[in-house]
Structure 1
Amino acid sequence: MDKNLKRMATMHRMQVTGLELFYEQGYYNTSVDDILKSLELSKGAFYYHFQSKEDFFISIIQNLIVQKVYGTLIEPIEGKENPLTVIEKCLDNSLQTAENNEMDYGFVVHNFLTEFNGRNETISRYLRDILKIWEVNLITLLQKGKTDGYVIRHVNSEAAASFIISSYMGIRTLMVEGNPRILRYNYISQLRSYLNTMVQRELA
């Protein structure tokens, strides 16, 4: 195998394992030694690829978390016709995935934002940028929905996007300890009612 490809494969394996441990235990409760033990690697191997634990985590954000959020919450709604049905379906699919995940500890971006708040502004900024990308995509979709006649004109797209994001993060947190199936059903029912208030009357 080409040296560069081998290095990339090793880094990816380290990032995947690191994310699993950070997600389950938290960043500050997971040491570099914990990661190396899981990977059966030496400390020298870790510092050959990454300058520090923080540098390692930032690489995880850039290479895994961004991709995960994009694939789950952004790509499914990009360029679609009716934003209201698309948003509902996208969030329901995401919640169903979480519901069937036995190792679910909540929405990864929200978990880390809470953990790093007031403790590491550099990492917090990377995480907030992910939410900003999601927010911009929701706003763009809703604005297009107005133009295309799906969404009533007076809807505040920015406020709606903020509500959708914050409510999703909230229900993901509740699903960790509560009954995920019932919580998902109740949340989607209420989300549908909320989205229906935005429907153009001719389309309702």
Structure 2
Amino acid sequence: MEKNLKRMATMQRMQSTGLELFYQQGYYNTSIDDILKKLSLSKGAFYYHFQSKEDFFISIVQNLLFQKVYSMLVEPIEGQEDPLNVISKSIEDALETAEHNNMDFGFVLSNFITEFNGKNPEIMKYLTDIMKVWEVNLITTLQKGKTDGYVDRHVDSEAVATYVISSYIGVRTLMVEGNSKMLRYKYVQQLKNYFKLISQKAVA
């Protein structure tokens, strides 16, 4: 039991450090040696836990990246009333977290999707599955909002979800080099204005 807990703690530490390195440098610019140096581990210790760098990265996507995206952008809106308000709040909270990150390199999930697109179909599937979970949850929440009278019944929920995801990725990219506080504020105000247009009240 104690041995298993120690192994799990080691893997957690390895994955957290690995995610940090891959996020900062990119997957293809990060070598096994970079990871070992950062963790003060031997190659033997690394390969005891993971078969390859790719296997290591996939474990990070499954265990850490999914949880990060889910807890920030999916869980806060799941099954909630008043979907337009809860969606805009989840977006604003995520952007505020990014704004206070001194080592911001953009939205981690979209960074990896861009890096692996056309290069590694297996890893791409894991990454796009996370994006799909977010998209499906947005659509489900908006559809429920239409049924409950919060969202205009003529609204295309899939189109709104696409807009929310793509605009969020866009502003996160701009925030890396721009005035993140101002960009967050302006984006959130425009998002709220857009949501007012598609709310049930707009046609009442």
Q: TM-score range by the shorter chain?
A: over 0.9
Which amino acid in the other structure matches residue 75 of structure 1? E
For 1:146, the equivalent position in structure 2 comes to: 146
The C-alpha deviation readout for 1:72-114, integer Å capped at 9, x for no partner, is 0001101111001111111001000000110111100000000
Q: Provide the C-alpha distance between the structure 2 equivalents of 1:108 and 1:121, rounded to a whole number of angstroms.
A: 18
Q: Provide the C-alpha distance between the structure 2 equivalents of 1:40 and 1:201, rounded to a whole number of angstroms.
A: 58
Q: Which consecutive residues of structure 2, in runs of 5 or more, have no partner in the other structure? A: none
Go from structure 1 to structure 2 and tell me whether the alpha carbon gap of 1:203 and 1:7 turns closer, same or farther (over 3 Å shift): farther
Preserved CA contact (<8 Å) 2:150 2:201:
no
The C-alpha deviation readout for 1:49-78, integer Å capped at 9, x for no partner, is 000000000000000000000100001101
Task: Report the TM-score, using the length of structure 2 for normalisation.
Answer: 0.98
Which amino acid in the other structure matches residue 40 of structure 1? S
Q: Secondary structure at the match of 2:119?
A: coil
Which amino acid in the other structure matches residue 66 of structure 1? F
Preserved CA contact (<8 Å) 1:146 1:153:
yes
Q: How does 1:151-166 map to 2 (within 5 A)?
A: 151-166=151-166
Q: Provide the C-alpha distance between the structure 1 equivalents of 2:3 and 2:64, rounded to a whole number of angstroms.
A: 22
Does 2:38 match 1:38?
A: yes
Q: Provide the C-alpha distance between the structure 2 equivalents of 1:157 and 1:77, rounded to a whole number of angstroms.
A: 15
Structure 1 runs (4+) greater than 2 angstroms displaced? 201-204
Q: How does 1:1-204 map to 2 (within 5 A)?
A: 2-201=2-201
Q: Provide the C-alpha distance between the structure 2 equivalents of 1:105 and 1:51, rounded to a whole number of angstroms.
A: 28
Which amino acid in the other structure matches residue 194 of structure 2? Y
Q: Provide the C-alpha distance between the structure 2 equivalents of 1:72 and 1:42, rounded to a whole number of angstroms.
A: 34
Q: Secondary structure at the match of 1:101?
A: coil
Offset at residue 202 of structure 1 (A): 7.3
Offset at residue 10 of structure 1 (A): 0.6
Considering only aligned residues, what root-mean-square deviation do their CA atoms show, in Å?
1.2
Preserved CA contact (<8 Å) 1:151 1:200:
yes
The C-alpha deviation readout for 1:138-178, integer Å capped at 9, x for no partner, is 00000000000000100000110011001001100110010
Q: Secondary structure at the match of 1:150?
A: coil
**Number of corresponding residues:** 204
Q: Provide the C-alpha distance between the structure 1 equivalents of 2:168 and 2:155, rounded to a whole number of angstroms.
A: 19
Q: Provide the C-alpha distance between the structure 2 equivalents of 1:202 and 1:10, rounded to a whole number of angstroms.
A: 53
Offset at residue 203 of structure 1 (A): 8.7
Offset at residue 201 of structure 1 (A): 2.5
Task: Report the TM-score, using the length of structure 1 for normalisation.
Answer: 0.98
Offset at residue 193 of structure 1 (A): 1.2
Percent sequence identity over aligned pairs: 70
* Range that drifts further, 190-199 or 134-143: 190-199
Offset at residue 189 of structure 1 (A): 1.0
